[in-house]
Amino acid sequence: MGNSTDSSLIVFAWGNESRGDDGIGPFLARRLLELERPGLVVIEDHQLNIEHITDFDGDTPLLFIDASVSIDAGIMLEAIEASGDGNFSTHAISPQALLNVYRETSSSDVPPAYLLHVAGKSFGLGESLGETGRAAAESAWKFLKNLLDKPAAEWRATLSASVA
């Protein structure tokens, strides 16, 4: 994890590598960490939890990365907002519900947030990345590398302009 006091982007990537395409988030998190970009904070976990609101840093944009069955192939970037969407338990929380917890417990505005959907189809226990997941992860990597090759001052605008 990087130093959040001078962050330009905070990335949350999560998933279970023992469940095939569900490991896309951790796979991409490792690749992001290898870049060692100043201003980039990468948080990889098995799942999102309410404690992750402590990783928010003012109005620093948040990028959530997860395997998704919402799309058939490739990637899709979505701007997301705080929502009491009901996807919340003591064990896991959706990005939108996490933003809602932050909104309800903080005196700060919710930072701009994005969800990078990375297509996945193979989620069986003991599986490795499937064909769809592997291709989508490579598309996600190209998107992320293009974003992070720009100066950190441009990351926020680039994310905003890339929303589907």
Pairing type for strands 62-68 and 40-45 reads: unpaired
Please report the pLDDT score of residue 107 as a whole number: 86
Q: Which two tokens stand for residue 34?
A: 């290898």
129 vs 85 pLDDT, higher one: 129
Q: How confident is the model over 127-139, as a mean pLDDT?
A: 95
Q: How confident is the prediction for the chain on average, in pLDDT?
A: 91
Where does residue 162 rank: exposed (0-12), middle (13-18), buried (19+ CB within 10 A)? middle
Please report the pLDDT score of residue 112 as a whole number: 97
* pLDDT tens sequence across 15-68: 999 999 999 999 999 999 999 999 999 999 999 999 999 999 999 999 999 999
User: What's the CA gap between 11 and 34, in Å, rounded?
Assistant: 14
* pLDDT tens sequence across 91-104: 579 999 999 999 99
Q: How confident is the model over 60-89, as a mean pLDDT?
A: 88
Q: Judge whether residue 3 has pLDDT over 60.
A: no
Helix (H, G, I), strand (E, B) or coil at 163: coil
Q: What is the DSSP letter of 69?
A: S
Q: Judge whether residue 6 has pLDDT over 60.
A: yes
User: What's the CA gap between 162 and 160, in Å, rounded?
Assistant: 6
Please report the pLDDT score of residue 73 as a whole number: 95
Please report, rounded to a whole number, the percentage of residues in the chain having pLDDT higher than 70.
91
Locate the domains of the chain by residue range. 4-162
Which pLDDT band holds residue 85 (cuts at 50, 70, 90)?
low
* Amino acid residing at 75: I
Tell me which CATH homologous superfamily contains domain 4-162.
HybD-like (3.40.50.1450)
